[in-house]
Structure 1
Amino acid sequence: MEQINLEQTEFRSESDLKSYLVSFVLEYASTMNRIEMETFLKQEAGKTKSSDLFEEYKQKYLPVFTAYCTDKKRAYGGQAGSFGCPTKYDGIEKYTEDNVVFKSSNRAEVYLKTDNDFKSEYLFVMVRKKGLWRIDSAKERWFNSSWRNIIL
């Protein structure tokens, strides 16, 4: 996946902005999945102490989180709390459907549907502050159930 410009503020059309927002979310989720899977595989190999794994995970996780997510105070999120398999955004890299709905000029919802084992769907709330779009919150659902908040 081609790396996107996180600081892009001007778009030629609404279609370009929608493409940017989908790419932004995909890059964030794919990067987080990769970090999580790499850490999980190291744990499975059993050659690294658990405390060292969490520290390594944290060192990789935090810069990505800071670059892609809003800086609002979070009671539970914004920390490298856990990793595992399947990853948090399992299947998102091979999404089958996307949609972007603008709730206002500074707020949008990015929807991604997957065809993984859980038929996962993800909904990311994007907020624009000072001209920059960032992920503010996210939800998921499996098998067309009710939406559940994801702790970012």
Structure 2
Amino acid sequence: MKKPNWTWIGIMFGVSLFLGYVIFAAAVGAFLPAINTVSKPLVCRGEFEIETTRYSYKPGQFGWQHNVYCDGKDITLPSILVTGMFFSLLCFAVILIRFPGFIFHPENFGELAHDLKSAKKSGGKSSLERMAELKEMRDKNLISDAEYERTKDEIMKEL
């Protein structure tokens, strides 16, 4: 059974949340407020209405304000939150389908983890390099024969 790669799944979900909320709910929703109608089944059981108001905040400059109402009650924030979550989940599904290799660890994950652990333990050197270094230290009398034998046995056990 393959083991899920929760790190990559979490990264994909974070990217999906960003895309859903920032790109779709906020940016696209500012230009196409009708996108918030996807939230209607969850936030409104009555009459759903999107109101767009033009206002001027300086002479010669204007902006648009979009409000979402359900039976006359302002539900703009819940509507945007549900719309963002909907598009986040949609983006997450697309990302999972597009990058299926990142969902699970490789089949030989245990071997790779053991190799990485032994490489970190050995300072990133191969067993052959470590044996040559150990022999050189013994030849220069930097370590005793007993320590040489003990360390050699440790290196051999890692193989």
TM-score range, shorter chain: under 0.3
TM-score normalised to structure 2 length: 0.27
Name the structure with the higher helix share. Answer: 2
TM-score normalised to structure 1 length: 0.28
Larger radius of gyration: 2
Name the structure with the higher strand share. Answer: 1
